[in-house]
Chain A
């Protein structure tokens, strides 16, 4: 879907990205993570040709991006940035309609599409006639996402889109992005330096440092088998086990046995939620049920602890 082959980029002689290769499959929610200055934004901006690579090749849907007109390419790829960048002199409706207008859609088609987007992202329709400055930061970024989705691109690039938001808005938008991704099957490339955000969203991720790829793969794999000390440190050595609890479902550790537990937890809940419930109810054992309420088995504190990994 998106492939980078030995891509390098230098700014004023300093390497921003060095010999970087990566393959992002269609339908992934791919998180590029790394500390500030690690080159992740540069990689993102090379994918939509806003920065031209010095060396190497980037393929988008099987085509070398050098063979494409950059302006046309960008109209087919959604783009969301941290500072949103809504047009202050356009209404929210006009902002969302920006790319469809560039593509020359008819009024009727644009209007129908805006109705869909408003429904999809649960935007209050009263906001559409307002101007960006009349919206809160969270509302603005929701519009930023809507604007990127407007022309229904199959690829969306997001550069730390939620980093400037308050924790509550951030959590809501993260959850919406995850469900949006699950429903739409779009390919999303998401840049962040926030490990919790990465783990919450990613299907796959790549860790970058100093312009180089350190490790890439499924998020559990990276958590369970960090390639080196940098990844271990970046994930927070001490907290790594706790982070794992957040992404492993109860289903993976429960046992089919019936000792007799009173409190109940869903099989799809995370181990962290299970542990939280145990602590809250002061019990060491939970009964596990599926969505229909059928009893699947039990999980106790020892099951959770036994699943720990050496690090």
Chain B
């Protein structure tokens, strides 16, 4: 009897993982931060973790042939957690062993095999969670448990000898302030975009003529590359800050947070206004007609009918705008606005890949977290319709 593949995604992931384990490098070892590196494959890593990772891949491959969804998904979750642990712990353990026998300047950075195994484990989990239709609360619990486990390992010093961790700890003091700045940039941009987007939406809903002009102009803004928009704002803002002292006192200048917030606000407007517009315009005409005919005034109609029925669309616009702003705020570091992008550009400048990751990984995690939170809000808003 030929076995049947019941989960092609899982099988494909395992293949990718196995290729990476065989042909990629698990760690890169370099004598110092700038020197060229030597690749260290997975099979040279500590036996326990290397074996666990390979066994885990093997088990996932077998699971791809399991027919029963529920059982397979639970098993996949467990095995994926094992692979994730083996990759993280293996890398940390490996680096600790190597560094005990080499000078302190030596650097051990994470290699392609490591990243591929982590990605395979996370994707296998995501796939399993979706296939088994895991309840929302359990998904939150799973994410929390994974984060908790990671923090525990980090607290125990498991990663201390990895260069990524070294970069992180040498920038720890400014890391949290840059993270705060990044969130502040995004928060301010979304706040100002809401302040402008709500009246703009009211305008396009009332005046069909304004609709074309507003969406065309917002569309043009959206097509301007972010670096260009940041650049274009420098000259007028410098002039303003030179001529109007009170603006200068507020911290407005050609560079820094002011142009960044303005640009991020402009970029956020299109997704916000477009989704607000469709959300409110698509509230069923008959429901509005009945409400008006019963004596709902404009305010009652908006708060009791249009807003709750348009809420999922409003939230999905807010989701797109937020995720987009989190990504674009990284570029704002180029004009001195700070934020996590500062690490990325500093790392690129110094040719220190690990410093780039100190900025890039939190940006990705922020975007994923924002996505996750908005998905939950949208799901709960939708449940009431």
Residues of A within 8 A of B (CB): 45, 48, 50, 71-76, 79, 81, 83-89, 98-99, 102, 144, 147-148, 157
Separation of A76 and B293 alpha carbons in the complex (Å): 10
Separation of A147 and B304 alpha carbons in the complex (Å): 16
The listed residue (B292, B304, B309, B385) touching A50 by CB distance below 8 A is B292
CB distance from A305 to the nearest CB of B (A): 47
Docked-complex contact B286 and A88, CB < 8 angstroms:
no
30 contacting pairs across A/B (C-beta < 8 A): A48-B293, A50-B292, A71-B295, A74-B292, A75-B295, A79-B290, A81-B286, A81-B289, A81-B290, A81-B293, A84-B286, A84-B290, A85-B286, A85-B289, A86-B290, A87-B287, A87-B291, A88-B284, A88-B287, A88-B309, A89-B309, A98-B294, A99-B295, A102-B294, A102-B295, A102-B296, A102-B300, A144-B290, A148-B294, A157-B293
Docked-complex contact B385 and A89, CB < 8 angstroms:
yes
Docked-complex contact B286 and A83, CB < 8 angstroms:
yes
The listed residue (A79, A84, A88) touching B294 by CB distance below 8 A is A79
Separation of A71 and B293 alpha carbons in the complex (Å): 8
Which B residues lie within 8 Å of A74 (CB)?
292-295
CB distance from A120 to the nearest CB of B (A): 18
The residue among A76, A85, A99 with the most chain B CB atoms within 10 A of its own CB is: A85
Residues of B within 8 A of A (CB): 284, 286-297, 300, 304-305, 308-309, 384-385
Which B residues lie within 8 Å of A148 (CB)?
294
**7 closest A-B pairs (Cβ-Cβ)?**
A85-B290, A75-B295, A79-B293, A74-B295, A83-B286, A85-B286, A71-B297
Docked-complex contact A89 and B284, CB < 8 angstroms:
no
Which B residues lie within 8 Å of A75 (CB)?
294-295
Separation of A81 and B292 alpha carbons in the complex (Å): 12
The listed residue (A45, A72, A87) touching B305 by CB distance below 8 A is A87
Select from chain A the residue with minimum beta-carbon distance to B283.
A88
CB distance from A230 to the nearest CB of B (A): 30
Docked-complex contact A88 and B290, CB < 8 angstroms:
no
Separation of A88 and B293 alpha carbons in the complex (Å): 17
Which A residues lie within 8 Å of B286 (CB)?
81, 83-85
Separation of A116 and B294 alpha carbons in the complex (Å): 20
Separation of A84 and B291 alpha carbons in the complex (Å): 10
